[in-house]
């Protein structure tokens, strides 16, 4: 697996207290992202920015206030356009955009994951698949070989993207759907 962007040096199973992750969004996707990041065992601290959840260390609009404390950040919000917009703001503010992958997922060594992706447990990203920025690949989803997934896509639980398919930006492939 090739991870493009700021997380290239991040090694799985290497906890370091100085590696902190800031997750933007503390709703259902944020909690899922936190559990996946914890299972990767490479962040010493994981916190949230959120406008409505009291567990957050701050509001989303205050993201610039935290860049000196958290090198790595990821947006875990369901709205694709908003996720892409916030990711660009974080990048411009100086954050390295994280990509998180469950150790229980299969990602081919020839697949490419771009910044801001979240790959859940039991997902499959097959040979030479290219997952563009800020995509969610949910539990049990299969992105078959040589497929291209556009920016901000969500391949939901048990959905399948056929081999050699191209999925347009910000598309949601629904539960159990076959696309391509």
pLDDT one-digit tens code per residue, 139-158: 999 999 999 999 999 999 99
Segment 107-112 long-range contacts (CB within 8 Å, at least 24 positions apart): 107/1, 108/1, 108/145, 109/1, 110/2, 111/1, 111/2, 111/143, 112/1, 112/2, 112/3, 112/4
Domains in the chain (CATH in brackets) are 2-98 (3.40.50.20)
Rounded Cα gap, residues 78 and 76, in angstroms: 7
Mean pLDDT of the chain: 93
Rounded Cα gap, residues 98 and 112, in angstroms: 14
Confidence of residue 1 (pLDDT cuts 50, 70, 90): confident
Confidence of residue 14 (pLDDT cuts 50, 70, 90): very low
């Amino acid at each position: 697996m090739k991870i493009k962007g700021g997380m290239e040096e991040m090694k799985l199973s290497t906890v370091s207290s100085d590696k902190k992750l800031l997750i933007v969004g503390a709703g259902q996707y944020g909690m899922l992202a936190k559990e996946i990041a914890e299972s990767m065992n490479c962040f010493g601290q994981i916190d949230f920015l959120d406008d409505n959840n009291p567990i957050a260390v701050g509001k989303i609009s205050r993201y610039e206030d935290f860049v000196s404390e958290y090198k790595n950040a990821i947006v875990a919000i369901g709205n694709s356009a908003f996720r892409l917009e916030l990711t660009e703001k974080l990048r411009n503010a100086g954050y390295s955009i994280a990509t998180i992958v469950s150790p229980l997922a299969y990602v081919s060594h020839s697949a490419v994951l771009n910044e801001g992706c979240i790959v859940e447990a039991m997902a499959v990203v097959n040979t030479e698949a290219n997952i563009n920025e800020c995509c969610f690949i949910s539990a049990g989803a299969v992105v078959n070989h040589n497929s291209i997934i556009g920016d901000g896509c969500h391949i939901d639980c048990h959905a399948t993207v056929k081999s050699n398919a191209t999925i347009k930006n910000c598309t949601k492939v629904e539960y159990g759907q076959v696309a391509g």
